[in-house]
Amino acid sequence: MKYTHQLREKVERQARRLKKAEQERPTLLAQTAYLGTLGLLFVAPVVAGAYLGQWLDERAPDYSVVWTVSLLLLGVFLGAVNVYLFIRSRE
């Protein structure tokens, strides 16, 4: 009897967890907004770095594409950090 009582409690607890998870599941619109935010957080620093690097390279023609490549890579790094921090804050 003790075993069946424990089993019943476990099954009921699992059923409550599943029901709660089903109720809290994000909608398609919420998931789309979340993914769009992640994309924007990553792309914005990359584009800003590319434009700033291009502008700096035009001002100093002796260095060719040094600024563009450097700031583009910095933008990728900062975008990855942005995405990581955003995901961590949502947990």
User: Tens digits of per-residue pLDDT, 76-86?
Assistant: 999 999 999 99
pLDDT digits (tens, 9 = 90+) for 11-52: 899 989 888 877 777 888 988 999 999 999 999 999 999 999
Q: pTM score, two decimals?
A: 0.69
Per-residue pLDDT at 75 exceeds 80:
yes
**20 in a domain, yes or no?**
no
CB atoms within 10 A of CB 62: 6
Number of structural domains found in the chain = 1
What DSSP character marks residue 63? G
Containing domain of residue 62, as a range? 27-90
**82 in a domain, yes or no?**
yes
**57 in a domain, yes or no?**
yes
**43 in a domain, yes or no?**
yes
Q: Judge contact between 42 and 83, C-beta under 8 A.
A: yes
Which residues touch 52 (CB under 8 Å, ≥6 apart)?
A: 67, 71
